[in-house]
Chain A
């Protein structure tokens, strides 16, 4: 691979990783509170649709706000069932994914016509940070990206600090590990889980908004393309820590980038191989005892 190609590979890897990182960081907070939201896919596609509607009515920032809002609303339905009604998380999540995909598809067709007219939203262009973007190889990859990627450089350390250095973060982790002990310490596990689920929904929505407003420039039915499920793999691969999740998101992003590279340069390798690789890696990692020890102890369990 030539230097230029390698640099381009890294750059598109970060681009592919950005929406994945938002979704996975949201899912991370939810899982650290002991809940698996397998319905994040619904929040992502809802966010993408919200971005289309709100950015079409106004501007890119309004689009992102709309994306976060719709993602939060969809997560609120999930929270209502899982926390208030205490329904099964997995089954409820599956329903939320189907609901998000079906509802956005139906609304899109009914609002914008059956042909799916080629609507274009305003998008944000990459902004090269002077100086930093000139660093060989990693410069363009890390510092010639849209603002939404740069925001991650603040969100990841902030989450890492908050998880391990704040009382809120302690309450979150306690709820995910031993909810009954957290309750004994005066923490309401329900409130913590509500907060985490709503945050996760907003991040999922921004993930969908990124697809529309920073990448594709339009909405397409089902454009979330399984990113909500990929986010769950990323959280496992990142071993339930913010930095780990950021790194794992890049692994998945790089896999997508490698696939495009393989297709355009005509490598002899089947392009599905790099795509399947991160999933297999996640499975292998899950089988190791260290990864299981990293999982929140009360993950997926109903509150007592």
Chain B
């Protein structure tokens, strides 16, 4: 199971890297979304995968999953959700104001402030 997860995470990171390196802002934002998905799955995998048990039932529970990675993922998901929403609004506003979503044209130098 860990191997499958590792491959999935790898594919997510690969797609994220490809998208982040493109020029359109929207594709970059989708890329950052995939990157954080990959990171969240990575935490889950790194906490150890077990089947058929929930996090901490009682003190006598025979088997349970480490709850900490799940708490970490929850926090990280909320943060990345908030930042992505902000980034989307900012990208739209920047598109309205600057008239382009092409990172090549957003370089900026001394003559073009």
Do A and B pair up? The answer is no
